[in-house]
Structure 1
Amino acid sequence: MENQTVKEGKTAAIISYITIFGTIIAFVMNNSKKNSFTSFHIRQMLGIFLLSMLNKYLIFDFLGKTIGGIVFLGIIVLWFIGFIGAVQGQEKKIPLLGDQFQNWFNGI
């Protein structure tokens, strides 16, 4: 990844990890001048958000609080991996689904 690209997109990439509102703000910031580093992290965070919604509305409801809590802790770990990657200026894909998130949200 180009150093200049990372420098220009780092702030928006970090903002994307601050709740879904931060992701929306980063998306708007990235919309006028596309930055591949920011887009990468927005896609990762959208995937993490999707996982958290699936956990909230499916796993908690159908499998219970214990399983939902364990999955929630896993999602927190994935969020932390993505956030640290943004802070360090790396395109670090989250384990297991990072490639899928890049494909699913490729238009961003």
Structure 2
Amino acid sequence: MDNYTVKEGKTMAIISYITWIGTLIAYFMNNEKRNSFASFHIRQAIGISLFSLVNSVFLLKYIGFYAAGFISLGLLILLIIGLIGAAQGEQKKIPLFGDLFQDWFKGIA
């Protein structure tokens, strides 16, 4: 990937990691003019946001507050890893789920 693509998509990539609203904003910004770097990070952010939603709605109810809190902490760490990668201009997949997110959401962003 060339430096121009990274430079052009870096803002959208960073925005995508700022809550699920940022993910939506970055998604719509990227729809106008597709950027492969931004799309990569948007897919990662969508996956983290969906896992966070599942954790908040279902797991909190069924496995308890402390276990869901531990999972939330892990998701926060994954989010920070993705954000740092976007800020540094790297297409670095998040640990454990990065390949899955790229495969699952390849048609979205």
Question: Given the alignment of the two structures, is residue 56 of structure 1 paired with residue 25 of structure 2, yes or no?
Answer: no
Alignment of 1:1-108 (within 5 A): 1-107=1-107, 108=109
User: What TM-score do you get using the length of structure 1 for normalisation?
Assistant: 0.97
Runs of 4+ aligned residues of structure 1 deviating over 6 Å after TM superposition are none
1:27-52 deviation line (CA, Å, top 9, x unaligned): 11111110000000000000000110
CA distance in 1 between partners of 2:57 and 2:24 (Å): 22
Unaligned runs of 5+ residues in structure 1 are none
Counterpart amino acid of 2:47? G
Identity across the alignment (%): 57
1:53-103 deviation line (CA, Å, top 9, x unaligned): 111112110010010010000000000000000000001111111000001
User: What TM-score do you get using the length of structure 2 for normalisation?
Assistant: 0.96
The aligned length equals: 108
1:8-36 deviation line (CA, Å, top 9, x unaligned): 00011111111111111111111111000
Q: Give me the CA root mean square deviation.
A: 0.7
Unaligned runs of 5+ residues in structure 2 are none
